[in-house]
Amino acid sequence: MNAKLPPGLTNSLHSLLVLVGIMFLVSSLSPTRVEGLGEFPAALRASWFLGSLALLSGVLGLHVGVAEASWWRGLYRPCPHPLRRLATGCCLGVGLFLPFLVGFRALSGAPWSGLPGLVSLLLASSYAWAVVGRWTLEALKSEGAGFALRYSSLALAHFLPLPFASPISPIVAALSLWETRLPGLVGIGVWGALGAVLSWRYLRWRRGSYLEA
């Protein structure tokens, strides 16, 4: 049972994969003549694809967390290693995006150096959101309130720091890491630390709720 993927997650992963594939194709379009370079700069292609990928990795995390929580709820028994399974689900999802990232690197002529940082950010961000997804589904009785809380916080975390170009937003951090600039590391740090804190708090809450039950 532990080695199986929640059936509800396969559709989510597949739809996210289709979305990333579309982003990939759109960002692969390039001008036919030199004339078009000024109107279609390479930087725009990178920001389009990487920004979408950063946002979709957050969505991926939420889907992994929610699918895990609802699957184990249906099995009427506690998940023995919830965080390990969340991490595996996120690794699998980001791993599915990896061929697109490798292909995009080749198409945009970017160096390899940006790739490890970007993958780390996607993993850290999706894992943090996976914990959020799982926790909100288990803690909140109202499905609607859980949905609103999850996606509004996701939108806030991604778009609120954008006007300030703050690397707290994974979108900004992803672009920064792709260009191997230092602020991107702040993004990895923030999302890694957030994932760790959320995991610790979630485990404490879980232990408390079982004791109550």
Partner 1 sequence: MVLLVVVLWAGMALGQVTIEATLGWGGIPVLDRVNPLWIEVANLGEELVAGELAVVGEVGTPWRGEARRSFSAPLAIPPRGQARFLLPWELARGTRELSITVLSPAGTALASLRLPIQAALTPLEGSVGPGPGIPLHPEELTDPILLHPFSRIRVAEGSGLGEEEWGVLASWAAWLGGELEAGGRRGRWGRPWPPREALEAALLGSRLPRPPLGPLVGALGAYLLGAGFALGGLARGRWALAGLFFGLSLALALFCPVLYKPATGAISFGISIVEESVPSMCLELLAITAARPQPWQGEGWWWELLPAAPGGWEGRDLCWSLGPHGPQTSLQLRPGQVRVLWRLTTPAAPPQGEHRFRLAAARGWVVRLDDDREGLATHLLPPPLLPFWEYLQASLLPGDSFSFAISHTQRGPDLSWQASLSLPPP
Q: Which residues bind partner 1 (CB under 8 A)?
A: 3-7, 9-10, 13-14, 17-18, 21, 24-25, 28-39, 41-43, 92, 95-96, 98-100, 102-103, 106-109
CB 101, min distance to partner 1, A? 8
Tokens standing for residue 61: 């995390």
> By C-beta, is 8 or 189 nearer to partner 1?
8
> By C-beta, is 41 or 116 nearer to partner 1?
41
**For residue 65, which of 43, 35, 45, 85 has the smallest C-alpha distance?**
85
Please state whether 165 falls in left (phi above 0), alpha (psi between -120 and 50) or beta: left
CB 53, min distance to partner 1, A? 15
Q: What is the spatial distance between Cα 85 and Cα 94, in angstroms, rounded to a whole number?
A: 14
> By C-beta, is 106 or 182 nearer to partner 1?
106
CB 112, min distance to partner 1, A? 11
> By C-beta, is 7 or 78 nearer to partner 1?
7
User: What is the distance, to the nearest Å, from the Cα of residue 175 to the centroid of all Cα atoms in its chain?
Assistant: 15
> By C-beta, is 33 or 77 nearer to partner 1?
33
CB 153, min distance to partner 1, A? 27
Please state whether 2 falls in left (phi above 0), alpha (psi between -120 and 50) or beta: alpha
160 phi, psi to nearest 5 deg: -60, -40
CB 160, min distance to partner 1, A? 28
Tokens standing for residue 23: 């982003």
Burial class for 107, CB neighbours closer than 10 Å (0-12, 13-18, 19+): middle
